[in-house]
Structure formats: C-alpha cells, structure tokens
Amino acid sequence: MTETGSAGVLRVTGQGADRRAARLLHGAREARLTGEPSRVAPRAEIDASWDRVVRSGIDPNQSPESELLEADEIEHRRRSTALGELMPLLRAGLASIADAAQQIMVVTDADGRVLWRQGNTGVLRRAHDICLEEGAAWAEAATGTNAIGTALAARVPIQVHSAEHFIRALHGWTCAAAPVRDPRDGRLLGIIDISGPASTFHPATLALVDSVARLAEGEIRTRHLAEIERLRAVAAPILCRIGGRALAVDVHGRLAAVTGMPPVDRLPLPKSLRPGPVWLPSLGMCR
C-alpha cells in the first residue's frame, strides 16, 4: 500500500496500493509534469529522479521501447563483466525466488543495458511488452524513472512502484534494484533488479535484492583474495632476489609482495603499462 506520511510525503509501505493512495501518487506526478503545486510529494529519491528526467526531456507518454543491442554485442558485454562469473550465484539466490513471486530477475551492465533476465515465464512474456528484454536500454535517459535507471543514477538501492515510474506505460509494474560495485577498484559493474506486475509489490523485495548484490560483491572479493595469494606465491621468491625497492601488484594495483620499502594498500597504476620506465606519482620513476 502507498500511504501519505505526516509530512505529506508518499511512501510505499505495504502490499496492494489502495485506490486513494494511488490517486494521490498519480496526482503528485501530474502536478510535477504541469508545474502545479501539490499537497503531497513523492519520496525524496523519486522526487530527485523526476527532476532529472524532466530536465532530460523524456516524454511521459513515450513507449519504453529502445533499440536492442545485437546478439554479438550482448555476448561481448557478458564476457567483459565480472557479473558473468556470478550468474550461477545470482540465479541460485534470486531467480528462483523471483519465479515463485511472479516476478523476474534482471541483470544489467553499468550502462543500464539488460544482459540477463530469468524468472516467471508469464512475466517474461509480459516484460516483452515494455521492452524489458536482453539488449534493451533502461538508464533514466532512455526510460525515465525506473529502479534500474534510478539505481544507476543515484548509485543506491531503490524500489520504484506503479506511478512512481515516469513513463505511463510502466505504471502497471513494480521493481527493486541495487548496484553492484567491483570491490577491487570501486567501479560500478551493473545492476541487479527484480521486476513484476504492480500487484506483486512487497516492501521486503528491496532488502532481498540489496543483500544479493552485497553477496555478489563479497564473492568477487573472495575470488580476488585467492588470486592475490596465488600471485604472492609466485612473486615473493622473485622479489627476494631483487636488490633495492620492488613491488608486485595485480592489474588493479593491489599489493601481493614488497621488498625494500613499506607496504602500500593499493598502488595507483596508469591505464596502460608497458615494459620500461614509467612515472608513478606515489613512487616517482619506476621500471
């Protein structure tokens, strides 16, 4: 259910939006579109998203359709992201739950392009009608306020329900999404999302999606530590034979072994490294 809080802020608080609350939410959205004052306001994160989308010129009556990526481009992006290695974990932790809840799991890259989706067969068919399919663009700049795009823009987990979506064609849907970051360098990898018909809304969905996103980050961290240990086993004996100061780091600059100098947590590296002299701000001239 969507309720009006004491400060006149619309909040999603339960399952099944009653008609009065739904009218208030629609009214707040229409007031934003026309510039008229409203006695209620959406949640702060939705309000901020609506502002961004209005400024970008998105038409609230437009279709959510987008030009899909070609199959070979989708496959290239799948191979280029660490999320691909985590899909068995995500399927086990989220896809089966989404299926049982009459919803689907969606995984995008950092551009908001859908790379994987899985879940309830009937909802997958319905998702085709709103272009929630592999290769589609779901960043705010393409599809307005939605959980995937708004989580990308705000870099925080978010749930978007019914008329909180900017495009009218999405008002029959509810979605919850969380960003996944690479713990090795903090880079955004993509978004994990659960979407379904508005009638499937549940306030606990956001916590579930966020916990699975954190689990995915933890798995990346665990695998990275194992890689560092393997690198240390090879590099440490080599550094012992080198005179002077030397370090062995992985491609993310994380330290595996060091000799002749204090250890560093992470060494900022240039985008491209070639054999020979290189200047590093933290160390000076290196080879």
CB burial of 58-85 (b: ≥16 within 10 Å; e: otherwise) equals bebeeebebebbeeeebeebbeebbbee
Look at residue 17 in the predicted model and tell me its pLDDT.
Answer: 45
Q: Give per-residue pLDDT as tens, 133-180.
A: 999 999 999 999 999 999 999 999 999 999 999 999 999 999 999 999
Q: Give per-residue pLDDT as tens, 205-233.
A: 999 999 999 999 999 999 999 999 999 99
pTM: 0.81
Look at residue 287 in the predicted model and tell me its pLDDT.
Answer: 85
Task: Tell me the CA distances in angstroms from 33 to 12, 26, 36, 57, 194, one per residue in order.
Answer: 21, 11, 8, 11, 27
Supply the DSSP symbol for 157: -
Hey, what are 92's tokens? 């086990």
Q: Domains (ranges, CATH) in the chain?
A: 59-221 (3.30.450.40), 242-286 (no CATH)
Mean pLDDT by 10 residues, the chain (287 residues): 47 52 70 68 89 92 95 97 93 91 97 97 96 97 97 97 93 97 93 97 95 96 94 91 88 90 86 84 86
Look at residue 278 in the predicted model and tell me its pLDDT.
Answer: 87
Look at residue 222 in the predicted model and tell me its pLDDT.
Answer: 95
Look at residue 3 in the predicted model and tell me its pLDDT.
Answer: 47
Please give, one letter per residue, the 3-state secondary structure of 217-245.
HHHHHHHHHHHHHHHHHHHHHHHHCCCCC
8 Å CB contact between 82 and 190: no
Query: CA geometry: angle at 33 spanning 30 and 34, to 5°?
Result: 90
